[in-house]
Structure 1
Amino acid sequence: MNPALLLLADSRFPAGGHAHSGGTERAIASGAVFDVPSLARFLHGRLHTTGALTATLTAAAHTHATTTSPPIPQPPITPPPTTPATTSIPPPAAAPPTTSASNLPPAATRSPATSPPSTDAGTRANAGVGQPVSGSPWVLLDAEVDARTAAPAQRDASRTQGRLLLRVARRVWPSPVLEELARAVPSPHHPIALGAVAYAAGATAEEAAMAAAYHAISGPATAAVRLLGLDPVAVHGLLADLTPHLTAIATEAHLTVTKARSTAVADAESSTHPGFPSRPPDPADPRPWLAALPAYSSPALDLLAEQHARAEVRLFVS
């Protein structure tokens, strides 16, 4: 497991996740959650609906980042320096530095298509090179999350968390992928941001899906402890009981995305039309396989989210 996954799943990561209860606060106010057994049922249902969906969408965002960007290099483990036994002959004087690619830092040797765009506002406003923002694949992925999130309150909460996560991650794990996402979608949905951030941190798609599934239950569980004063040991016992489900959901999410994408590519390669030459599929275009992604729903969670948004007194944002 990539150690960065521990940071992404940690509630202390400064991305604002601790301020969201995932519907737990309103479920408690309505009487649906009142003790440990009722919380267990709530978490189980949330994991297999919202959690499974966000895990799949997170894996999709990671897969898209993988197909459009070079692999993230991992820092090598260097042995400690050793003192030479004999005095070495100093090398000849080096030539004046040039601007060749070999003298540039790794980020500068990337091709123009993958180099991070400038963060200067004027440069962004006048950017006319490359694909327009309105047609960016990140916009298409983000729209898929919109289409699968029925409640406006849920959409707002997702975009708020996605924006904060992206803002923090751009400082923690600087990456051209994150800059491209921020330029295309300044306030992306949380699964889209999480998938891109996990890629930038060096995690796999399945690990990213695992973080998304865990996020779907860890925040609500912690909120229940704060709101009901439940035994934190008992609540963490519930989370431990759900770990096999987390593994299964993360694996299924990764397989679903992989199968959808491979099927779409195979269909595109085999499709022909009289009078039109066959054109190879563009791996950077996610549209052929987005429609195959699942659309799990939970009307009860949607209703709780809308009720919470209209509540006059509340402790959590959502």
Structure 2
Amino acid sequence: MSRAALLVLADGRFPAGGHAHSGGAEPAVTAGRVRDVASLAEFCRGRLHTSGLVAAGLAAAAAAGIDPLLLDEAADARMPAPALRQSARRLGRQMLRAARATWPSAELDALAAARPRGAHQPVVLGLTGRSAGLTPLDVAYAAAYESVSGPATATVRLLRLDPFDAITILARLAADIDHVAAQAADAAQRVHADGLDALPADSAPLLDITAEQHATRPARLFAS
């Protein structure tokens, strides 16, 4: 296992396409729910403990060796909004391209063949971590951190926030990220005994609704 691989995977410069997505921050800014540092902090905390936890659980399960095709179906069941499914698969397809070039493996090749239009990004993230020799907890950290770093970075552009404020939000969420990553990794280990229902299924209905609205906007900065 190389922890340096985790740094590469979690680096915002890893060419996985995340720079084009705001994680729901753009529609939240448009609606006025995110308007300053305090409201961005609350948005990120809420996202971390709902969709972030779900993504971390799926990623950890993939890293633990659970069938990625079954996990892809489980991701569908946990993502009712078609716009979010489309974004997750688009991101998964891009990440899979980068992962196969960086950490080639038969498992990544098999997933690419089975899901030519893209698997859900958290599933790809977990399988990528597995191919890189990372643990389920490692990839749970990567997924949890990504769930808040994307919106925080996007909002710097959307509201012209001070980047120091955005990074401060992420630093202050460290304990929450620790908790979510541990919870997700524990759930992934229980899948072997309890099935896929052991994985988190926390919902964020407002993110689902605004994702559908955002998808129909003629002018937008981010794809999601």
Shorter-chain TM range is over 0.9
1:20 aligns with 2:21: yes
The whole-number CA distance in structure 1 between the counterparts of 2:85 and 2:158 is 24
2:22 match: secondary structure = coil
Aligned-pair Cα RMSD in Å: 1.1
Unaligned runs of 5+ in 1: 66-136, 265-288
1:189 aligns with 2:120: yes
Q: Which has the higher helix share?
A: 2
Tell me what 1:54 maps to.
55
Mapped contact 1:138–1:185 kept (Cα < 8 A): no
Q: How many residues align?
A: 222
Match of 1:174 among 91, 94, 104: 104
Cα deviation for residue 202 of structure 1 reads 1.1
Please give the TM-score of this superposition, normalised by the length of structure 2: 0.96
Mapped contact 1:138–1:184 kept (Cα < 8 A): no
1:298 aligns with 2:168: no
Tell me what 2:168 maps to.
237
The correspondence of residues 1-40 of structure 1 with structure 2, limited to 5 A, is 2-40=3-41
Of all paired residues, the percent bearing the same amino acid is: 50
Map Cα deviations across residues 171-219 of structure 1 (whole Å, 9 max, x no partner). Answer: 1111111111112222100011000000111111100010000110101
Tell me what 2:180 maps to.
249
1:143 aligns with 2:73: yes
Mapped contact 1:191–1:212 kept (Cα < 8 A): yes
1:291 match: secondary structure = helix
The letter of the residue matching 2:154 is A
Please give the TM-score of this superposition, normalised by the length of structure 1: 0.68
Map Cα deviations across residues 29-72 of structure 1 (whole Å, 9 max, x no partner). Answer: 0000000001001001000001011000111111126xxxxxxx
The whole-number CA distance in structure 2 between the counterparts of 1:36 and 1:155 is 29
The whole-number CA distance in structure 2 between the counterparts of 1:213 and 1:304 is 21
The correspondence of residues 1-318 of structure 1 with structure 2, limited to 5 A, is 2-64=3-65, 137-186=67-116, 187-261=118-192, 263-264=193-194, 289-318=195-224
Cα deviation for residue 150 of structure 1 reads 1.0
Over alpha carbons, which structure has the higher Rg?
A: 1
Q: Which runs of 4+ in 1 moved over 6 A?
A: none
1:224 match: secondary structure = helix
